[in-house]
Amino acid sequence: MFRNITIGQYIPGDSVVHKLDPRIKIIITFIFIVATFLINKLSGYLFAVFYLYLIITISKIPFSYILKGLRPVIIILLLTVSLNMFFTPGGTILYTLGPLKITTTGLRLAVFMGLRLIFLIIGTSLLTLTTSPISLTDGIEHILKPFSRIGVPAHELAMMMTIALRFIPTLIEEAEKIMKAQMARGADFESGNIVKRAKGLVPLLVPLFISAFRRADELAVAMESRCYRGGQNRTRMKQLKIQPRDYQALAVTLIMVLLIVWNRVWTW
Amino acid sequence: MEHVINTQNLSFEYHAEEQTRHLVLKDINLQFEKGQFIGIIGHNGSGKSTLAKHFNALLLPTEGKVYVKGMDTKDTNHLWDIRQAAGLVFQNPDNQIVAAIVEEDVAFGPENLGIPPDEIRERVEYALKAVGMWEYKDYPPHMLSGGQKQRVAIAGIIAMKPECIILDEPTAMLDPIGRREVISTIKKLNKEDGITVILITHFMEEVVDADRVIVMDDGKVVLDGTPKEVFKEVTLLKKIGLSVPQVTELAHQLKREGFDVPLDILTVEEMVEFLCR
């Protein structure tokens, strides 16, 4: 039952998008999100759509995977769209349904908010689809490093993420083992209503937590005996190096942003 | 000559509760020579794991001193030099692998030591080849067998270029195949790479080839000598709850029945050789 869980949603590949420096990819994702919020005309979305189309084609990620990313947020999406549609005052009234009014401003805002959310989700899931969790962690650590002077625990966060990635499969395996052991003694994890099933999980979670704490303890001792003393004076085997392709990707992104700004200011 | 590890009147007390004092190690004096293969055996609770943790300053003696390459483990200035010089491999391979990829885990120790990236790469390659796991460098640890994981853990220590590796029951959680893999790796590292090995175990067969075997019971060293000298003491070993290699046991029973068999036979080959003479 746990076998199918993958960490993140990374799809391995060897496209240029996959090979980009994780730092650059994270920064580009941020720029893209900001850019989509700059768009104030429907025509502006053409640039964003073309940009995403470009990335998806180059990365060879199947389109269905990207749509799958949208599924969990569909409720939030509908909620945002309808709230904006029905509760924005101003503009001419197009349609009245009891106390609810759809106005031109409301409709416009609803469409824009909906599109922004969709683009935001597609943009970020493209990041996680093409970047392995490990290099994502590396990228985050490097981006946060300058902020460690003002107290951002960059190394510690990255180390926590690394250890989590390392231990998720181990703990899943362990959960399966405990589950089988409990089932052999008559535990029932599958039938009954939600409350009953949640209660049924207690004999699984208690041993799992105890073992996780024991593992954490042993791991800490093992790390210490391998001279771990936090991020200070620590070197890394894998150095991130900015390649020409990273500059190219950044340039393409900036062109997209400029086009959007141009669209916002000079066209209508 | 300077000893790799030198303990002087080492005693360790463990406070379980306020009043009770539990003496785990009692007045231990041991000197380990460079390049040797040393086996430490004893049953559960004999203090052998506690002793191992003293060898790289994870625990500090209540009384007496422990010196690693002449450095006092109580001297905090040398803490990291000591841990680099004496690497410790633990029983459960799962709980000592830190990174989600084999080669990055092996790099963890050298990274902590602040070694330049290029040299880390060389060391990782050397260490993984030394334990025969180079082909698996890009694997996530959970895809490996127990024996393979334990070899990765050993590589992680070797990459720190220690003088000596201390292995605390490294085979206790492995199946027979994994056990064989790990033991032959350890022997190779000792013979070919000249690393001092201290193997803590309760499988007698694993220390038959050792240069020196130390038997512990109730926090004390009860026997210390070559495997032949130690395993001759079948009655004493049995009294403290340890068994001897099967062939040695056989030799003893034959002797008792009146056959003239030497008591220091440790391996099947030796027995065959003797019987066929």
Nearest CA among B191, B121, B129 for reference residue B154: B129
In a mutational test of the B interface, the residue from A136, A137, A167, A227 whose CB has the highest number of chain B CBs within 10 Å is A227
Distance of CA A92 to CAs A81, A108, B75, Å?
A: 18, 12, 81
Helix B117-130 with B102-113: angle, nearest 10 deg:
130
Q: Tokens for A263?
A: 């669209």
The domain locations on chain A are 2-265
Nearest CA among A151, A136, A137, A115 for reference residue A33: A115
Q: Tokens for A125?
A: 């899931």
Which residues 6+ apart lie within 8 Å of B78 measured at CB? B71, B72
CA A36 to chain centre: 17
> Is the pLDDT confidence value at A268 over 60?
no
pLDDT beneath 50: ranges in chain B:
none
Q: Tokens for A105?
A: 């401003």
Chain B residues close to A155, C-beta within 8 Å? none
Name the DSSP class of B264.
T
CA B37 to chain centre: 9
- Residues A23-51, mean pLDDT to the nearest whole number: 90
pLDDT (tens digit per residue) in A24-36: 999 999 999 999 9
B87/A223 CB distance under 8 A: no
ipTM score: 0.88
pLDDT (tens digit per residue) in B70-89: 899 999 899 999 999 999 99
> Domains in chain B and their CATH numbers?
3-244 (3.40.50.300)
**Distance in angstroms (rounded) separating the CA atoms of residues B48 and B53:** 9
Question: Maximum Cα–Cα distance for chain B, whole Å?
Answer: 66
Distance of CA B224 to CAs B6, B23, B188, B196, B241, Å?
A: 15, 21, 24, 17, 17
pLDDT (tens digit per residue) in B194-250: 999 999 998 888 898 899 999 999 889 999 999 888 888 888 888 888 878 888 888
Of A173, A229, A237, which is closest to B107 when you measure between CB atoms? Answer: A237
3-state secondary structure of A8: coil
**β-strand pairing of B63-68 with B71-72:** antiparallel
First to last CA, chain B: 42
The pLDDT mean for chain A works out to: 86
The reply to whether the predicted model has a pTM over 0.90 is no
Flag whether residue B163 sits within 8 Å of chain A, measured between CB atoms. no
- Phi, psi angle pair for B149, to nearest 5°: -60, -40
Instruction: Please tell me the distance in Å from B250's CA to the nearest CA on chain A.
Output: 40
pLDDT (tens digit per residue) in A85-98: 888 777 777 777 77
Name the DSSP class of B241.
T
- Residues A109-126, mean pLDDT to the nearest whole number: 89
Flag whether residue A3 sits within 8 Å of chain B, measured between CB atoms. no
